[in-house]
Chains A and B, each alone.
Chain A
Amino acid sequence: RKEVEQDPGPFNVPEGATVAFNCTYSNSASQSFFWYRQDCRKEPKLLMSVYSSGNEDGRFTAQLNRASQYISLLIRDSKLSDSATYLCVVNMAGGSYIPTFGRGTSLIVHP
């Protein structure tokens, strides 16, 4: 089982739709979780951190389920500009920690 897994998609949705992605992780010692967005041929950019209690930033909501070892990202009222690849990042605690990136989920929002 891979350390961090994401459905590669693509998720093809119309403008205004609500879409959700999940990301599963294998190491129960994981401590910090993030969602990044990567546009084609650009660098990843931090979208939001994921807090244990869940958190919201405008149209974006992130949640963590430690029992089932997954995090989720919900995008409401999708915009054309939301089209990108969404990367899940999981950090393990302690020692020489290495952030582990998922391969990303591709989202295409069409008119």
Chain B
Amino acid sequence: KAGVTQTPRYLIKTRGQQVTLSCSPISGHRSVSWYQQTPGQGLQFLFEYFSETQRNKGNFPGRFSGRQFSNSRSEMNVSTLELGDSALYLCASSEDGRNSPLHFGNGTRLTVT
């Protein structure tokens, strides 16, 4: 089985722009979670989707949004980028979320200048 695929791997954006990140989960996985990873803060939960519905959201401003499509693929959008948004964004998929191991993609490295 192919693993979790995230595109693009690297992004450089300017403050104020917006960005869309993409995640293709493992085939058959219906839950997709997004995390922001920065040095010293670990993995911070952004949101989780299951069957196109957002089931939970972390403590991030409304500039961070996401969606999930009928094929379980997910996108994450960040609008009005700030310098502090520079981070590694990780997507993880699981069979149904609860009690299921998360399988992480290699992430998208976003740099905001």
A and B held together in a complex: no
Residues in chain B within 8 A of chain A (CB atoms)? none
Residues in chain A within 8 A of chain B (CB atoms)? none
